[in-house]
């Protein structure tokens, strides 16, 4: 565990939601398949949340790497409940959890990611303050080779989120969401979508109910370069296209499959699901908050991912030019960002 991960998982102090003695029960759902050394810090980041009224529902989706051996001491926490099953893919595992949720709200936690100690508390407060919301998301940073970088933290209003949904885009990274069960409790993930299942799920919710994004970076998303979705981008994009087609059919619009033009596409960006776009958003957030040096550092970190690929220098260019021009360029070249699949 890195120093930053130790910090993220050890800075929690018990607290209460304002005006509520304990606050409503929140279920945190973790689907685990061969999470290796990352499972322990991920689970710790939930156990050590400042918000304590939790049900932590862990679905072991047929793990074979012994990752649960490293968390046996954590499973004695009475809030943690583990369900073991044969490998059935993530949407099936999460659906099983949804069938057993006891919480008023539920949040997703990927088994190799880290939640900021105050993540749950902040999202609960937002849902309590606005009872009509179906979901609240937050900003996120990336973990690459053990280093935390490129936070995005711009808030998005209900109208902003609705605009994103209408454009077939998620308003924020999918595992940062917390959902209100009274509104979405009957909805399930599509089992046929082994990838992009959460993109499909969030679009369906956003087509019916309002949602917002908090202006805070409360989640750290780990990039795993050897994951299946990065080794097999064509396989990944087939499921993304299937989710997009489902959305088009629901809305009664013509489905037009995206054609990949190899002459204008970076091979590296296809393999990593265009992670450079996240760095661009991070740079723009830093520029909006007048943190020029942080923007430059983030742009340089992106360039260092693939020094020979011009695509990965775009974030650095955004850090150097005026924010107005950068945002204009961003809008002109913005594609449909699906989930940043592992």
How many beta carbons lie within 10 A of that of residue 173, not counting itself?
24
305 φ/ψ angles, rounded to the nearest 5 degrees:
-65, -40
User: Which of 262, 268, 271 is closest to 312 using CA atoms?
Assistant: 268
Lowest mean pLDDT, pick from 176-190, 246-260, 325-339: 325-339
| pLDDT recorded at residue 322 | 83
d(CA 15, CA 27): 17
Residue-wise pLDDT tens digits, 86-103 = 999 999 999 999 999 999
pTM score above 0.95? no
Q: Tell me which of 18 and 63 has the higher pLDDT.
A: 63
List the chain domain ranges.
3-222, 263-337
| pLDDT recorded at residue 6 | 46
Segment 142-169 shows an average pLDDT of 97
| pLDDT recorded at residue 255 | 87
pLDDT at residue 14 tops 60? no
| pLDDT recorded at residue 274 | 87
Lowest mean pLDDT, pick from 17-31, 38-52, 233-247: 17-31
Segment 16-30 shows an average pLDDT of 75
- Residue 207 DSSP class: T
| pLDDT recorded at residue 13 | 47
Q: Which CATH number fits domain 3-222: 1.10.1060.10, 2.40.50.140, 3.90.550.10, 3.40.50.300?
A: 3.90.550.10
- Residue 74 DSSP class: G
């Amino acid at each position: 565990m890195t120093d930053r991960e130790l910090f993220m998982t050890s800075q929690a102090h018990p607290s209460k939601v304002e005006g509520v003695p304990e606050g409503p029960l929140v279920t945190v759902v973790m689907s685990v398949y061969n999470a290796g050394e990352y499972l322990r810090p991920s689970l710790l980041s939930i156990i050590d949340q400042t918000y304590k009224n939790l049900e932590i529902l862990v679905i072991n989706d047929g793990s074979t790497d012994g990752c649960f051996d490293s968390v046996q001491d954590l499973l004695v926490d009475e809030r943690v409940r583990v369900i073991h099953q044969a490998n059935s893919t993530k949407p099936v595992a999460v659906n099983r959890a949804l069938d057993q949720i006891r919480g008023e709200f539920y949040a997703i936690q990927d088994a190799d990611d880290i939640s900021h100690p105050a993540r749950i508390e902040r999202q609960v407060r937002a849902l309590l303050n606005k009872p009509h919301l179906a979901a609240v998301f937050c900003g996120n940073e990336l973990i690459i080779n053990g280093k935390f970088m490129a936070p995005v933290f711009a808030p998005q209003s209900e109208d902003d989120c609705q605009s994103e949904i209408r454009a077939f885009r998620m308003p924020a990274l999918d595992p940062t969401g917390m959902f209100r069960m009274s509104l979405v409790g009957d909805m399930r993930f599509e089992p046929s979508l082994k990838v992009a299942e959460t993109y499909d799920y969030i679009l369906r919710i956003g087509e019916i109910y309002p949602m917002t994004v908090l202006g805070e970076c409360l989640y750290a998303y780990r990039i795993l370069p050897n994951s299946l979705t990065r080794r097999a981008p064509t396989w990944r994009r087939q499921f993304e296209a299937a989710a997009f087609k489902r959305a088009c059919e629901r809305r009664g619009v013509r489905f037009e499959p995206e054609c990949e033009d190899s002459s204008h596409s970076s091979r590296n960006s296809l393999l990593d699901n265009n992670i450079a776009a996240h760095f661009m958003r991070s740079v723009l957030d830093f520029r909006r908050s007048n943190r020029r040096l942080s923007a430059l550092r983030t742009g340089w970190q992106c360039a260092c991912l693939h020094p020979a690929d011009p695509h990965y220098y775009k974030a650095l260019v955004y850090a150097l030019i005026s924010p107005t021009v950068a945002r204009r360029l961003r809008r002109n070249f913005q594609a449909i960002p699906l989930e940043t699949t592992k």
